[in-house]
Amino acid sequence: MRTVITFGTFDVFHIGHLNILKRARDLGDKLVVGVSTDALNFKKKNRYPIYREEDRLAIIAGLSCVDGVFREESLEWKGQYIREQKADILVMGDDWAGKFDVFKELCEVVYLPRTADISTTELLAGIRAAS
């Protein structure tokens, strides 16, 4: 049984999010996802996500490729989450390539290519421009 772990905000859920979660799940037998809290996002970007934390968690938990979700409360606790979840593989989008190599002492670290031409930031910009 190989457990895969990944992390993200997954605000305004889109096809890039679904693609990476499905590909992450295909690397193992079980996928657990750390969804960053509203407070963590505020700390990181000085703004809250559009979808509130409970809804982002519920959307990710409702996907057939996801076996479990938990709140990511601090960027500093990734190692702890990897241990708690007994993860064998950490998956991140390749926008993070190399940044999580420190966790290679705990598990395999895989960077998957992002889906082209979509992000929450771009979606929100498009919605704002159209309104």
The residues pairing with 36 across neighbouring beta strands, listed in sequence order, are: 72
Nearest residue to ligand CTP, by Cβ distance, number only: 93
Strands 3-8 and 30-36: parallel
Residues labelled as active-site residues:
44-45
- Smaller CB distance to ligand CTP: residue 97 or 102? 97
- Give me the least distance between CB of 46 and ligand CTP, in Å please: 13
Tokens 């670290």 map to which residue?
A: 109
- Site residues (vs ligand CTP, CB under 6 A): 8-10, 16-17, 20, 92-93, 95, 114-115, 118-121
Alpha helices in the chain (DSSP H): 15-26, 38-45, 53-61, 78-84, 120-130
- Give me the least distance between CB of 102 and ligand CTP, in Å please: 17
- Give me the least distance between CB of 118 and ligand CTP, in Å please: 4
- Smaller CB distance to ligand CTP: residue 29 or 122? 122
